[in-house]
Structure 1
Amino acid sequence: MTPKEKWLAKAIEYFAAHGVGDASLRSIATGLGTSHRMLIHHFGSREGLLSEVVREVEARQRAALADLAVDDLPLRESWLRFWDKLVEATLIYGRLFFEFSAHAMQDRPYAQGLRNDLVAVWLPPLTEICRQSGMGPEEARAYARLSLAATRGLLFDLLLTGDRKGVDEALLLLDRLFQELVEHPADS
């Protein structure tokens, strides 16, 4: 692991625990056990560091989705395992994810790439999963967007309420809708 990768990993853990807020580069460096100069050396600026954190956290989530696509288990079982992994990651990084999402909505420079990455890059693989399950192209695209939005909403709910049982029940309802769409596709 390079020094930059080491500091990036530490920064991700730090932000997961403390959020970003308006923390200065100096206070971030202190929290990481280094100097602001070391962070400037590796990331250029506070915004550069935050940009790298955003990219890495997002890459981890896409990797988890890719694991779902190559799993040899039935789709439903793979999806439920993915949900468990997603919940585990959300309990660690969810505050960071939603904070960065808000930063993207506010057009903060280091989060500009997220405007596309938070939705657009997720839709093709989710749509393909739906299509492989037997949905038509239009239903698959619509369901992919619905499932992405609903899943994120449930994760947001979990962070606010801590009600894992409630969000799991809602996810199972989303799963039943998926099964219904696969078993009874709409007439074209």
Structure 2
Amino acid sequence: MAGELRGHLLSRAVDHIAEHGVGALTLRGLAAGIGTSHRMLIYHFGSKEGLLVEVVREVEARQRAALATLDLDPATSLADTIRAMWHRLADPALWPYERLFFEMYGQAVQGHPGTAPLLEGLVDNWLDLNVELAARWQVPAEVARTHARLGLAVIRGLLLDLLATGDRAGTDAALETFAVGYEAGLPIPTRVRPVADDSPPTTGRARS
């Protein structure tokens, strides 16, 4: 019962932040906005920071789930997949969450009280997803995680750029350069189609 109520409060907090942003958000103000009391939020999340950490983790989990189920045609190129991921993550509807993400990320790496849990899985959970996607294009297993880390760093860096500058055209162009260059420079056959789940992997000579 307590877990169900906690999940309900978290979902309402996510929706509230999407509509109103973070700004000068207070725990009392958020509680009033979602129809509860600040004492109830403290009981379930410990503090304002604890609640915001959980909001970030929930939104991150939702985005990973959505990206994992991208409806891609089997002929979709690797570059097109990178573009599709960027298009989703750069959606202005996600900006309030992404601003909160970077704010809480900064606090967590500085050891701000109540924010340490954010660092758990903050990178690895995304690497796991990206490795799964990379396998569709036969990215060699021995380098897949390194490639996944590079892709995550590029996307997060461009999101920070976009939030700071508002330059969608510039960040789109940078993403395009990365997507095309990454696909062309892979040490595997270029423009290879992803392998369907029920098909045996095809082999190809790596480029030197």
* Normalised TM-score (structure 2): 0.73
Residue type of the partner of 1:101? Y
2:57 aligned residue (55, 58, 63):
55
Instruction: Give the number of aligned pairs.
Output: 184
Residue 95 of structure 1: CA displacement?
0.5
**Aligned partner of residue 124 in structure 2, secondary structure:** coil
> What CA distance in whole angstroms lies between the structure 2 residues aligned with 1:55 and 1:65?
15
Contact 1:11/1:53 (CA < 8 Å) preserved in 2? yes
| Cα displacement (A) at 1:150 | 0.6
Task: Name the structure 2 match of 1:35.
Answer: 37
Deviations 1:116-160 (A, max 9, x none): 322122112212322331322343222211110011010111111
Which of residues 125, 129, 132 is equivalent to 2:129? Answer: 125
Q: Percent identity?
A: 45
Indicate the structure with greater helix content: 1
How far, CA to CA, are the matches of 1:169 and 1:155 in structure 2?
Answer: 13
- The CA distance in 1 between the partners of 2:177 and 2:120, in whole Å, is 28
SS at match of 1:118: coil
Structure 1 gaps of 5+ residues are none
Do the aligned residues in 2 keep the contact of 1:4 with 1:42 (CA within 8 Å)? yes
Name the residue aligned to 2:173.
169
- 109 and 46 in structure 1: CA distance in 2 versus 1, 3 angstrom threshold: same
Report the Cα offset of residue 110 of structure 1.
3.5
Structure 2 counterparts to residues 124-143 of structure 1, below 5 A: 124-143=128-147
* Residues 32-62 of structure 1: per-residue CA shift (max 9 Å, x gap): 4542133235445434423432321221122
- The structural deviation recorded for 1:26 is 2.4
- 3-12 or 121-130, which moves further after superposition? 3-12
The structure showing larger relative contact order (alpha-carbon pairs under 8 Å, at least 6 residues apart) is: 2
- Find out whether 1:12 has 2:18 as its counterpart: no
Shifted more, 73-82 versus 141-150: the winner is 73-82
Q: Is the 8 A contact 2:50 2:115 kept in 1?
A: no
* CA-CA distance at 1:109 after TM superposition: 4.5
Aligned-partner Cα distance in 1 for 2:15–2:107: 19
The answer to whether structure 1 residue 183 and structure 2 residue 186 are counterparts is no
Which of 88, 93, 96 is the equivalent residue of 1:85? 88
Name the residue aligned to 2:202.
none
Q: Which residue of 1 aligns with 2:195?
A: none
Say if 2:178 is the partner of 1:152: no
Per the normalisation by structure 1, the TM-score is 0.79
Q: Supply the distance in 2 between the matched residues of 1:95 and 1:140 (Cα, whole angstroms).
A: 29
In the alignment, the residues of structure 1 paired with residue 123 and residue 5 of structure 2 have an alpha-carbon distance, to the nearest angstrom, of 31
Please name the residue that 2:194 is paired with. Answer: none
Q: Greater Rg, structure 1 or structure 2?
A: 2
Q: Is the 8 A contact 1:64 1:82 kept in 2?
A: no
